Chain A
Amino acid sequence: MRIAFPIALLAAALLAACSSQPPAPEQKASNVEDRQGTQVGEVKKVEAGGNIDANDLSELKNPKSILSKREVFFDYDSYVIKPEFQNLIQAHAKFLVAKPKMKMLIQGNADERGSREYNLALGQKRAEAVKKALLLLGAREDQLESVSLGKEKPRCSESTEECWAQNRRGDMLYSGEY
């Protein structure tokens, strides 16, 4: 499998090296042309994260601390942060300012209604809204990445408004948590 690394692959690797995350390792998939029906192996998971003090993480997990709360919920087809989440975002911004080595991945989510890619974009807008709020409160750009899971990772899978409301969400995850 380590034969003839194509130039395209090298170029992609170089390109990816300039972006924020390493490319996932090349995977050998089954040979579709030969119709052998052989199974590709599980895709190797990429573990992100850095060197973070265990005390920092325990503070984040303390259920008595507001920092243990990580969720921001949104209205249908909206990416506006509602006032009730201001305190939560302020607390996390303060934490990020105090712990400059700490990084955060903000994952935006959407409910199941409509196109996958449009919902991915909607989830991105929600994650971006959380990121912008944190930046305004002093967090640094290089501490934050906003991404979207669209409607692909629903917490709740029933077709009810209650369930959809759970899924219209931004999650704030710290280094070591994703």
Chain B
Amino acid sequence: MSETKKFMYVNRKAPYGTIYAWESLEVVLIGAAFEQDVSLAFLDDGVFQLTKGQNTAGIGMKNFSPTYAALGDYEVNKIYVDRDSLEERGLTLDDLQHLVWEDEDEDYAEKDSIRLVTRAEMADVLAEQDVLFNF
């Protein structure tokens, strides 16, 4: 009988330029399959991973951005996005994918997965985790 731990994946790299973003998603899905309490944080260039409308046809790479929309089905529904990182990159919440999950306890009501947080709130979220994975 193993106890559930709070796993936090901290994403700080842009997609496609390096392999970090894709590798992080792979590990997140593995962690979720083991029924851990998974949260994701996106800060610095990591916020670019969540932009909507990504189309990689012209660069010959796999577009993995639709995978973020599937996270809710794996009960990965705590996605913290750093507000300052978004703003200094000229982005708003509207530029990101609308990620949702269905709450079984409320007749499968659709709820937002993304929580826009201040740096101080992000610090509190990090502090309450058991394990931190950095990508």
Partners in one complex: no
Write the residues of chain B forming the contact surface with A, with a CB cutoff of 8 angstroms.
none
